[in-house]
Chain A
Amino acid sequence: MPWYLYLAIKQLFPTGRRFPFFTAISVVSVSLGVALLIVVLGVMGGFGYQIRAMITDTEGEIQIKSRGLISDYPGVVKKVAAVPGVAGATPYAAGMLMVQYQNKPAFPQMRGLDLASIDRVVSLGKFVRIGSLEALDDDSVILSGGLADALGVRLGAMVDIYTPLMLAKKDGEVILPRTARVVGILEIGHQQLDSSTLYCTLRMAQDLYGLGRDVHGINLRVAPGAREEEVAARVNAILPDEVRAFSWRDSFADFLWVLQLEKNMMMFVLLFVVLVAAFLTMSLLLVLVLKKTREIGLLGALGASRRQIALCFCLQGVGVGVVGTGLGLALGFTVLHFRNDLVRAITHLTGGQELLARFYQFSELPEHLENRDLALIVVSALVLSTLAGIIPAVMAARLKPVEALRSE
């Protein structure tokens, strides 16, 4: 081990002595900055990741939509399913409904599912909290948790369903709703989807909306490893112009862009915390250089070169960076791991758990730290700490041994 590395380590972490003040303060400040970045970017990234998971779990990665209706959907499904990279396709019908239960009305989104092919695209079954997806037939529905709560519906209850089609009927005619049995309650974990959605069979949806044999769209599942955008492009190539395939990224492009922008801004702002920590390290190192002036003179007298003396102090900045980043990663990931307990503890003290869920659309704080962000955090913390060591190092190297030795 070269002497300057040895001495740098010994000065940062002397054996058999208390952790020096300098090391403790600068390491703690760097690690706090790193931990903060990890936690904030982890949670921010979690939102994006969660939204992706939620969309692809319920709709597949690609949606085919038409300007009007898609007629002959079995033909389209067959053609599309043969495209390389497509693992499955299922048609759907969607729209607004009014549901009434014991005079309480609600206006949920309807999703008509093709039970024969739905499993190839999404495994909705795993979200069914009460009842089951298998029980769904043309005379029954599954409600989202929030909708069931709002209506006060239990499993097996009969609800009345009104469709916009009924408004078009002639005056004076009594509007007869369609009655359906509730055979399941489904919860995905996304506030918006869970608050008000009604799932029924495709045939029932077609009836309610008077679609005949047509559907509103087709959901696609992309084969593992295939790239959504490429698959969407390949699908588009074989579809007529009025029918288009969109990847979930296209459909949520604006939202994802805002999320990314928010994350980048957070990163930028929080990097200042690390920058301040680096300045702190630098000023403490400068004090150290002043304190050690005579030792620097001695090292020169013992034959150390200026470059080596500079390295000795620069490496102390690096050491602070490495240890601080390491501790910061540990602290950051620990906080991320216990984030929901922390949020629960905080909301317990301040109230507002529901508010949080409503505002952020998730009942649990998600977490997903992209490798790119992690690398950026680690690299910038290390680079800033190293830069913090450079100015004191240059100062130390510029001391002449004689002058350093004379500075009594």
Chain B
Amino acid sequence: MREVAIVSFAQAPSVRRETERNEVEMLTPVIAEAIERSAISRKEIGFTISGSSDYLAGQPFSFVTALDAVGAWPPIRESHVEMDGAWALYEAWVRLQIGDVDSALVYAFGKSSPGDLGEVLALQLDPYYLAPLWPDPVSLAALQARALLESTGYTERDMAEVAARSRRDAQSNPNAQVASDFSVDDLLAEPYLVSPLRKHDCPPVSDSAAAVVLAAGDLARRVCERPAWVRGIDHRIDPHYPGVRNLAESPSAALAAREAGVGDAPVDVAEVHAPFSHQELILRDALGLDGRTAINPSGGALAANPVMAAGLIRIGEAARRIMEGNARRAVAHATSGPCLQQNLVCVLEGD
């Protein structure tokens, strides 16, 4: 495959409710920053693609006005996925493989605050059999956590350890929304929100936006001191109905990890999109990560979970470690759908 690297990344700090700026206004400085850092001029970007959701924004065609933040004049090669921005990055990587363009801008925006996120995400479910019951994402995740606890050796303490570590690490991430320093025992003393999940096992509701610039081969080397090369990227989906799959496992994440080559060499750092603490446990196993890998040094989705952008932010955070010279091989993961239904895995390496 053609060598393609992430050469810059920018994000807006995640907040519970951005009331002053709309999506375009949140996005404009983020895109400008990513482009400026990439040292590729705006008009030279060969392909532009975004990820977002109309139901999250509460209006049809919400991606159309977001184009204002790009400066699409003269007209540009541009597309949009109604998916997390991580899949937009995947499409950009595919597009760059064809060889006629050398760079791509990928952006994602997600304001979860305008609507009731639990109700909005309930509309992701099968409209005939599941959605009429309005299952909220926390309850579905709790079903999954219960399945994990009952069928494996994992405990609520393991979950609390994920939460405590994530929130502690978030203290050094200026873009994180929730950061704190609690002991595991303190967390376990808290009441259940939806058993077996406690509040700390669940993600915050976040507004944010993110942008990444990709470049191929020599262009990447020219514009970036330490490009984060995409060595493998793959995504897979599991069946939709929570009742027809083993919720304690993530076969689609495991398959994507195998296809992306996660296990081919040691992994220094992994940014895993696990909105709920138990999901990190499932994903660590699916991705084959062990104690030698630093997991979610950014704090992960437990520290900030802007729906539609959180996956792209995982890739950006993993790439940043390489671009800053703090990691040689990194893995990033993004998820979509109820109970980790769809998963994308990306392996990044420095030179």
Q: Do A and B bind each other?
A: no
A interface residue numbers (CB < 8 A to B): none
B interface residue numbers (CB < 8 A to A): none
